[in-house]
Each structure stands twice: as C-alpha cells, then as structure tokens.
Amino acid sequence: MNKHQQLEQYIARHPKSVGKVVFFDASRHNLLPLDFTSANAELTPGIISSTQHFSEWVFKKLKENKCKYGIGGYFEHRTLYSGSALFNTTAETRNLHLGVDIWGDAETTVYNPIAGKVHSFKDNNNKGDYGPTIILEHDLDGLKLYSLYGHLSYESLMGLHVGMPMKLGEPVGHFGDAAENGNWPPHLHFQLMFDMEGLEGDYPGACRPSEKEHYQQNIADPDLILRFPASNII
C-alpha cells in the first residue's frame, strides 16, 4: 500500500479527525472553479501582469457567479507563470501547480484541518512567491503528512515556534493581501506533502513537467482534506 492509499484509509477510518481549512456553509455557499491554463482566453497578459487587474478579474468572477471562493489548481498546467522570473530559472518553466488555491477575501481565516504541530514557517517574500508561509506536521497512525499554507498575512507568523502544538480546528492564520502575500490576489495555497525533503518554511508549489512523476509520488491530493461538496461547485 502506498502513502496515498494510507492517507485515504486514515481519512475513511477517522472522518471526525479531519476538519475544515476555511469556513464553508454548504447550505448557502458555492465554489467557482478558476482556470489558469491556456484554455482561459479571458486572462490576457495585461491582466496577469497587474496584481490590481488580476484581483479585479478574480473578484468580478466570484461576484458574477455568487460564489464565496474560487478554487482549483491541483497539477494544473498554468500558463500564467510564463512571465515570472521566479518560475523561469531554467529553460523549462515550473508551470505545474502542486496545490489547490482557494481565492477569497483578504483576512479570511485559515483553520488547521488535522491535529499536529508547527514544522516550520517563513516569509518567502519574493515577488510571485508564497509570502508568509506555515507548514504543519501531522502523524496519522504512523503516516507522516505535512500541510502547507501559503500567501498568508504577516500577522499569521507572529507567536509561532517550531514544535508548537496545533489542535484540530485551531486558526492557523489569515489570507494576506497583495502587499504581503507575494503580490497575488488574496488566496490560500494549500498543499500536502509526505516528505519535506529537508526543506523548512518552504516547499515548491509548482514543478517542471519533467519532474511531474517525482512530485506525484510526494504530493497528496488536497481534495482529500478539503472535501468540498461537488454539488456546490458550479
């Protein structure tokens, strides 16, 4: 049994041990899938290159569709990274997105979905990077799992220390605004890893296509934890 299967079995055996990442009321909230691939002709270079215009586009889509959050991105081939020096350090662009993004209002509260402890944290303050980032460590009946929360507010890092216990449902932090979250529209990058590979406070949120097989082994599907109802995704 591989680690992905172990995680699925743990969740099946302990459904009450997994909680929310963001507040979501299925009786009145909907979710909008957001496409950042080349198939989305609405996202012009002019929109993507401007944080203000990009933010306006995201929140206009949410308002038009009466959705609380925009979601998506797990192993999505993202063409919007093509103009960023952060993702173009070699001839092969890091354009496969490894987590799920939840797009919503700045200051949205982020919650710990599984009891654990603080593994590491860091302000990755390059343009286009995560900005304030927190990584939690979870022990699931012997299976080690790490959860990453990127694009948080500066305040989210205050008072943390490595090894600090984090209860199920405890606030982790809040969505940061563009001035502090790496120059992005407000959102959360949520990602799951089985191995941190020696890194602290950071882990790649995108990979090169040639690296896909490696990361598919180490990156778990965030939807296993998020568990948003399919009926609320429009």
Domains of the chain, CATH where assigned:
3-14+28-232 (2.70.70.10)
Mean pLDDT confidence for 86-113: 86
Q: For 62-76, how does the pLDDT look when each residue is reduced to its tens digit (9 = 90+)?
A: 999 999 999 999 999
The DSSP letter of residue 51 is H
User: For residue 190, what are the β-bridge partners?
Assistant: 100, 149
pLDDT of res. 49: 87
On average, the pLDDT of the chain sits at 94
Share of the chain above pLDDT 90, in %: 88
Contact by Cβ (8 Å): 208, 96: yes
Of 29-33, 87-91, 201-205, give the lowest mean pLDDT range. 87-91
Distance CA 138, CA 140 (A): 6
Contact by Cβ (8 Å): 163, 118: yes
pLDDT of res. 86: 47
Of 5-9, 50-54, 85-89, give the lowest mean pLDDT range. 85-89
DSSP string, 112-123: -SS-EEEEEEEE
Please tell me the pTM assigned to this model: 0.94
Model confidence band, residue 127 (pLDDT cutoffs 50, 70, 90): confident
Distance CA 48, CA 31 (A): 22
User: For residue 146, what are the β-bridge partners?
Assistant: 137, 193
Model confidence band, residue 38 (pLDDT cutoffs 50, 70, 90): confident
pLDDT of res. 33: 97
Looking from the CA of 73 toward its CB, the CA atoms found within 13 Å total 22
Distance CA 148, CA 150 (A): 6
pLDDT of res. 83: 53
Of 33-42, 144-153, 186-195, give the lowest mean pLDDT range. 33-42
Mean pLDDT confidence for 33-45: 91
pLDDT of res. 191: 98
**Amino acid at site 97:** H
Q: 171 φ, ψ to 5°?
A: -60, 135
Model confidence band, residue 45 (pLDDT cutoffs 50, 70, 90): confident
pLDDT of res. 94: 86
Model confidence band, residue 159 (pLDDT cutoffs 50, 70, 90): very high
